[in-house]
Amino acid sequence: MSRMTRHLDRELIEGFESISDAARETALVHLRGCAGCRAAWIADEPSRVFALLSRAPVPEQRLELLSQRVAAAVAPRERTPRWYGAASIAASLLLAAVLGAVLWSHELPQQSIARIEEIGSPGRMPLEDIGARLVALPGEESRVLDLTIGETQVLLIFDESIEL
């Protein structure tokens, strides 16, 4: 095949860097088989000779093996559609917004608020009105606020001597 192509003239050799892809391929085919043209072509730049490795074919069995490996690597974890990721984020944001709105608008039970205020200023509302009672342990400085509601008992102990 190389013997059927023309020898490279000086003009082509000097302008080799700027010729078209097709002309380059034709010239490379000729250069692979023509020692004379090759010597003239690499005279100025010997490393040019490596361009002759262009388009070297890869063994077909290697290529088939690659396709099999790629198929196996891709199959177990199919690509997640892009919309799925966006939908997941949107759903998360919506859920967070709904929960936030619910929590923001949710009012604490009046009874609880009253009890907190009662601790700060017990004189403003009688404890018994909110179902709580303040007890003192015998011989102790502690004060215990009993906030029993139904079956749930919450005791708040106030004592300056307690070290946490």
Q: Is 147 in the site for other proteins (CB under 8 A)?
A: no
Query: Which listed range, 73-81, 117-125, 127-135, 153-161, lies at the site for other proteins (CB under 8 A)?
Result: 73-81
The side-by-side arrangement of strands in the sheet containing 155-158 is 133-136, 143-146, 155-158
* Rounded Cα gap, residues 20 and 24, in angstroms: 6
Of 108, 115, 160, 159, which is closest to residue 137 (Cα–Cα)? 159
Q: Which stretch binds other proteins (CB under 8 A): 46-54, 111-119, 137-145, 150-158?
A: 46-54
Nearest to 33 by CA among 67, 14, 63, 5: 5
Tell me the residue ranges of DSSP E strands in the chain. 133-136, 143-146, 155-158
Q: Which window, 27-35, 109-117, 133-141, 142-150, contacts other proteins (CB under 8 A)?
A: 27-35
Estimate to the nearest angstrom the gap between the alpha carbon of 115 and the chain centroid.
47
Interface with other proteins, residue 39, by CB under 8 A: yes
Position among 15, 33, 100, 126 found at the interface with other proteins (CB under 8 A): 33
81 binds other proteins (CB under 8 A): yes
| Closest separation in Å from C-beta 40 to other proteins | 4
Return residues touching other proteins (CB under 8 A): 2, 7-10, 13, 21, 24, 31-43, 45-59, 62-63, 65-67, 69-71, 73-74, 78-79, 81-82
